Amino acid sequence: MDWRGPAVLVALLAIGTGSGYAASVQARDTAIGAGVPAPVPAEQPELPIEAPLPFEQDPDDPALRPGLPMETQKLGTGKFEITFPAPVGWVTNANATNEFKWKKPGTSNNTYVMRIEQINSQDITIEDAIDIRIERLEREQVDVDILERGADSLEYTYRSNEDNFRHSFMRWLDLDLSGQADVEIVVHGRQKDTPGTRDLIRRVAEGMRGASGGVVETG
């Protein structure tokens, strides 16, 4: 009987088993990472969403109505003089030599107010003035929403520093047809003041004249 065949087979099986075991150990060793285990971040993690901050309650003063009685007023002197209609009885406060505010006496803060500023010294077009205003609003105010942009106008809402909801209208005028903006008009109000503030800024803008203009139509 030839016993060498089974002996060789047993030897080969032993060698194969040992080689397989050694290879598996080597592969397992190289697969083990180094360092401290850490959680794997999500591919697109979602940040927590904060609930919108509620607005403060508006003052309960009566709403501004369209059709206010108006009277002629003037700002500036010489070639910088402007003439325009303004609400009868409203008080004027100067913010600067070229900027004034009008407010109805006895009304609460954060109701309605009008501001007129002479900006002819800035030498900018109306389009540039609107661009600058939008950039400034988005940089300085919160919850800004541009509702409408016209060729010489802007309508928007925002959150005031006192957390009140404000609805505003702006107009820019080129009174001497120089291609540059001469006057900026702003009327701020509450949401319920919108019919009155829209009517007020329209009448002031349509009735404004430069130094060489005619008589202001106060209606």
Cβ neighbours of 56 (radius 10 Å): 13
Q: Two tokens at 35?
A: 């360092």
Asked if the model's pLDDT at residue 114 lies above 50, the reply is yes
Closest-CA residue to 201 (of 32, 49, 68): 68
CA distance 69 to 206: 15
Asked if the model's pLDDT at residue 26 lies above 60, the reply is no
Per-residue pLDDT tens digits for 181-200: 999 999 999 999 999 999 99
CATH homologous superfamily, domain 70-207:
Mog1/PsbP, alpha/beta/alpha sandwich (3.40.1000.10)
Residue range 123-145: average pLDDT?
96
pTM for this predicted structure: 0.74
Domain ranges of the chain: 70-207
Per-residue pLDDT tens digits for 56-102: 999 999 999 999 999 999 998 888 899 999 999 999 998 888 899 99
Asked if the model's pLDDT at residue 41 lies above 90, the reply is no
* Beta bridge pairs of residue 183: 118, 173
Q: Give the DSSP letter of residue 167.
A: E
What is the rounded average pLDDT for all residues in the chain?
83
